[in-house]
Amino acid sequence: MDKEEVVSQENEEEKEKETPKGKKEKKSKEPKSNSKRDKEASEIKNCVLLLNEMVQHQDSWPFKAPVNTRKFPTYKSIVKKPMDLQTMKKALDSAS
């Protein structure tokens, strides 16, 4: 067994702890503060940052607001799931 294998084995043994029932349990490598809610909040924050960059892009003008269906009545028959940046922003704001 070389030095790296010994160090690796020692690290694994340190990660294990004795439970009251005598069963060994591995400790989580993630900090306890990274709960599912924290992860979702972080992902929403990243989406908001990306959306803001998209809105500021010079070529985003056609996608900034929903299409006026009174002006273009056949739009919804052609585009089955319309989406725009303004609608996305509202969804992200309600999620955070």
pLDDT tens track for 13-63: 555 555 556 555 555 565 555 688 888 889 999 999 999 999 999 999 999
Homologous superfamily of 31-96 in CATH?
A: Bromodomain-like (1.20.920.10)
The domain ranges of the chain are: 31-96
| Secondary structure of residue 17 in the 3-state scheme | strand
Q: Would you say 72 and 64 are in contact if contact means Cβ atoms under 8 Å apart?
A: no
> What does the pLDDT average to over 73-95?
94
User: Would the pTM count as exceeding 0.85?
Assistant: no
Asked whether residue 92 carries a pLDDT value surpassing 70, the answer given is yes
Confidence of residue 3 (pLDDT cuts 50, 70, 90): very low
Length of the chain: 96
Measured in whole angstroms, the distance separating CA 93 from the mean position of its chain's CA atoms is 15
| DSSP state, residue 21 | T
Cα–Cα distance for residue pair 49/43, rounded to 1 Å: 10
